[in-house]
Amino acid sequence: MNPLQPQGEERPATLRRDHLPNGPAGAAILSAGAGCLALGILAVVADASKPMARLLTFYRPTGPLSGVSSLAILLWLVTWFILARRWRTKTVAIAKVNAVAFLLLALGVLLTFPPFADFLQGK
């Protein structure tokens, strides 16, 4: 091995060990949690309010589910895009990011559970 040769040049670019900051991962993780929470909130809103259900009916045969899922995906992707740009080269407090993301994810899952959604609506 040539000692003057910088390390990593022996391997193809695709196989080089990359030293990435955790920002991009944090952005992806947190936005996924936010997307799941958005889904849960929109599902409850569409179930609780007839006008909102009509507003969220983007595609009539599918009903409000079309708007609920489309908007949640849109919010998730927009959040991801914004956070990814801001944290592209940053090292973030990943433990806090994980904690918040898990909380958002858990709330999102809980809000999709019909008995819980009914309880929130006083049904």
49 binds other proteins (CB under 8 A): no
In the complex with other proteins, the residue whose CB is nearer, 55 or 118, is 118
The two structure tokens encoding residue 6:
């910088």
Q: ∠ at Cα 114 (104, 28), nearest 5°?
A: 25
> Which of 2, 5, 6, 18 touches other proteins (CB under 8 A)?
18
Alpha helices in 2-93 (DSSP H): 23-48, 50-55, 64-86
> Which of 7, 9, 10, 20 touches other proteins (CB under 8 A)?
20
Q: Which residues contact 92 (CB under 8 A, 6 or more apart)?
A: 22, 23, 26
Residues that bind other proteins (CB under 8 A): 12, 14-20, 22, 24-26, 28-29, 31-32, 35-36, 39-40, 43, 47, 59, 61-63, 65-66, 68-69, 72-73, 76, 94-95, 97-98, 101-102, 105, 108-109, 112-115
